[in-house]
Amino acid sequence: MRVMIFGASGLLGQALMREWSGDEVVGLSSRDVDIRDKNRVSEKVQSVSPGWIVLAAAYTDVDGCESNQDRALAVNRDGAVNVAEAAKGIGAKLLFLSSDYVFNGRKTSPYEIDDARNPLGVYGRSKSEAEERLQQLLPNCCIARTSWLFGTGGKCFPDTILKLGATRPRLDVVIDQHGCPTYSVDLAGAIIRLCRQDARGIVHVTNAGSCTWFEFAQGIVREAGLTTQVRPISTQQLPRPARRPAYSVLSPTSLNRLGITMPGWQDALARYLKQRKS
């Protein structure tokens, strides 16, 4: 199987390039191709002629999206359409990475794949509209929603906590946002299995279990052996340009139905810290 990965230099893209074996894998970063360039995307896809395309390229600065709405929609929605059209043109299958931010966070039980999209901000809207366009264009595409991604090779929440914790005696972290931390290595492994199973439709892919950002930070500090005190604060005490869903836990039902289970986030965190050290 020949696979093309857009976004190969990101946290997930790097993990996919490391973890994917047994197939021919071609990774493209934003330097290789800007997915906003329809003609360039088409040229690249036609030149490689992959059986599967994994679209992990995105503009993921949630707060930045609020002040750069045009860029967010051009990359996350229109760029996704460009890749989907190129995939359709050669008969390739597509797996698109989406987000828990397509939901408004007002539920108190895990979100299922058929729950209504209702994003709070521009980033979530760009992903939500991309999902809708892709389902119209490629009804058999696979949309993998994930959340709270962390991993080596780039900026992520654990990396930030570790760096701040090494120099500060106390960290204030929000306690009223709930989600599922997801390790890039585990997400990559699940994506590889989804492609090999010719998965289609929407699938929720996160590490097992859920927590608040405060609990996640506590786990990071404890596992790393830091003495930093983690203090809980409310979202209102930490104003940000973009609104976040208060509860965006994704149900594993759709993934489990395909015979795929994910390790717990605490186990994933321990492995991430080991990988980071090495």
Residues acting as catalytic residues: 123
The β-bridge relationship of strands 170-174 and 201-204 is: unpaired
Specify the 3-state DSSP secondary structure of 201: strand
Full DSSP string of 225-277: T---EEEEE-GGGS--SS---SB-PBPSHHHHTTT----BHHHHHHHHHHHHH
- Would you state the structure tokens that stand for residue 41, as one six-digit string? 């995307």
Instruction: Say how far apart CA 104 and CA 97 lie, in whole Å.
Output: 18
The alpha carbon of residue 3 and the mean position of all alpha carbons in its chain are separated, in whole angstroms, by 19
Q: Which residues pair with 142 in a beta bridge?
A: 95, 201
Q: Roughly how many angstroms between the first and final C-alpha of the chain, as a whole number?
A: 31
**What are the CA-CA distances from residue 230 to residues 145, 154, 180, 200, 239 (Å)?**
29, 23, 19, 41, 18
Taken in order 179, 72, 65, 114, is the CA torsion positive or negative?
negative
